Structure 1
């Protein structure tokens, strides 16, 4: 069976409804409204998203990490629901600190199963996810008071220096691409010094690869990487497809259901990237 057909069968068999609706939008010309409708079940009355939309914690409470996954899903589908997004931005403004910064998670996760890495460090307001959330609102073209306040804080923090950890750097670049402070040479020179950046396609450990910074050929940060780098990681992505048609993950979610859910997310992402780079 070819790469796409095997991946499609995995998504149809094992992925969540929201990823199945996203797959249908990306590959089967389905109306993106189906993605919006699937996300509604994860949005709480306070406007935030929860209920394990990001599967590493099974907490129903609204968390910024789940808001980010909701925004990413809408962006991948090429759609938006302004009311849904504004409600989430209102909630971010309500839980932000005085500077506008928000944390990834919060103590509410402690009452529910969660991955080992979802711990106290995720309760601290930080560039990750604040910068990424601001950048995603900018991609939507949605202005909001929280976006302005948090964006000013992000700009001031990043003027002091880039993060030395790849996930935080990824979030920072989501923000920086919408500012006047775009310096490809600065970022390119910094990348080799960043923890959890997986420049080597043969490295099997958990981390952020060039394809996550540039998931499509028209990604803003694509010029950071050579053709050879990206081709190597595309080869690796093809090779990493599992016998069941999906892609594996390199960390331990809180249980088998969460593992399948996260595999659905990364498998749709892998197929999207391979299609964008004309590998399927």
Structure 2
């Protein structure tokens, strides 16, 4: 059965997935190389150093966007391979889009001119947002290929923006929470970060309404295996073995007849939906492998 799951998923990914996700599948399941994944990722990087070109499939804009740049960092992180040239380009881009208070906007106006999901529409001047600032900064702090920008004014301002934010606010929602966790796991002041994790994040994750515990819950919800796609994820300690067992069983059952896994939100277009599903399918296989199901 386990081999059948992988073979069906492989068929879907090779029929419908992007080159990037085919390369990711090859790396995790067929002995492919990190270099091939990074090469596919580079095609999404623009001359300004940022990433666009629908790397985030709900934003069809070719121009660089903060969230697409965050996705690029996440891909390099999953490979354990932060490419020096890509990072230098990202640093140049982030320096340009840092707002005066420090921090990065969630999206820029250029995307309004292209197809995009309605929740990405930019209606006002860009303001700093914890999403995607927290995760971008967390991953920049995690990587050690390029570190000479850590003392630059834009980076220090953004670091201060994040400290001020987590001191002042409380986590709220999945997309907000992962930003908190990524930043605080890699923040340089470990004593301060651990204190905020313990007093704010852990308390919030312990609430029954933060992590969706029902494996059959419908709609745009974030379940146990979204929060803890592997046992190494921070949120895993708030999930019981029985809950993991239930959600892993349900995840296997969710594989569609075409071999891929479904989206849980409104699609922008058929093409965008297939791009999303290819990436999601690789993620689901990685999770099943991580927990020993595959």
| Range into which the TM-score falls when normalised by the shorter chain | over 0.9
Deviation at residue 184 of structure 1 after TM alignment: 4.4
Q: Distance in 2 between matches of 1:211 and 1:134?
A: 24
Task: Find the partner of 2:24 among 22, 32, 35.
Answer: 22
| TM-score of the two chains, using structure 1 as the length reference | 0.92
- The verdict on how the C-alpha distance between 1:188 and 1:238 changes in structure 2, with shifts beyond 3 A counting, is farther
Contact 1:16 1:261 in 2 (8 A): yes
The SS at the match of 1:271 is helix
Deviation at residue 199 of structure 1 after TM alignment: 3.1
**Where does residue 241 of structure 1 map in the other structure?**
255
The SS at the match of 2:136 is helix
Deviation at residue 187 of structure 1 after TM alignment: 2.4
Task: Find the partner of 1:133 among 109, 113, 136.
Answer: 136
Contact 1:199 1:209 in 2 (8 A): yes
In the alignment, structure 1 segments of 5+ residues that lack a partner are: none
- The verdict on how the C-alpha distance between 1:216 and 1:239 changes in structure 2, with shifts beyond 3 A counting, is same
Deviation at residue 99 of structure 1 after TM alignment: 2.7
- The verdict on how the C-alpha distance between 1:260 and 1:50 changes in structure 2, with shifts beyond 3 A counting, is same
Contact 2:102 2:158 in 1 (8 A): yes
Task: Find the partner of 1:32 among 31, 34, 39.
Answer: 34
The SS at the match of 1:30 is coil
| TM-score of the two chains, using structure 2 as the length reference | 0.88
Deviation at residue 194 of structure 1 after TM alignment: 9.3
2:183 aligned with 1:175, yes or no?
Answer: yes
Deviation at residue 216 of structure 1 after TM alignment: 1.3
Q: Distance in 2 between matches of 1:204 and 1:93?
A: 40
Deviation string 1:83-104 (CA, Å, 9 cap, x unpaired) is 1012112211211112321122
- The verdict on how the C-alpha distance between 1:211 and 1:151 changes in structure 2, with shifts beyond 3 A counting, is farther
In the alignment, structure 2 segments of 5+ residues that lack a partner are: none
Task: Find the partner of 1:10 among 9, 12, 36.
Answer: 12
Contact 2:171 2:200 in 1 (8 A): no
Alignment length, in residue pairs? Answer: 280
The SS at the match of 1:120 is coil
Contact 1:165 1:194 in 2 (8 A): no
Highest CA radius of gyration, 1 or 2?
2
- The verdict on how the C-alpha distance between 1:84 and 1:73 changes in structure 2, with shifts beyond 3 A counting, is same
- The verdict on how the C-alpha distance between 1:231 and 1:69 changes in structure 2, with shifts beyond 3 A counting, is same
The farther-off stretch of 178-187 and 237-246 is: 178-187
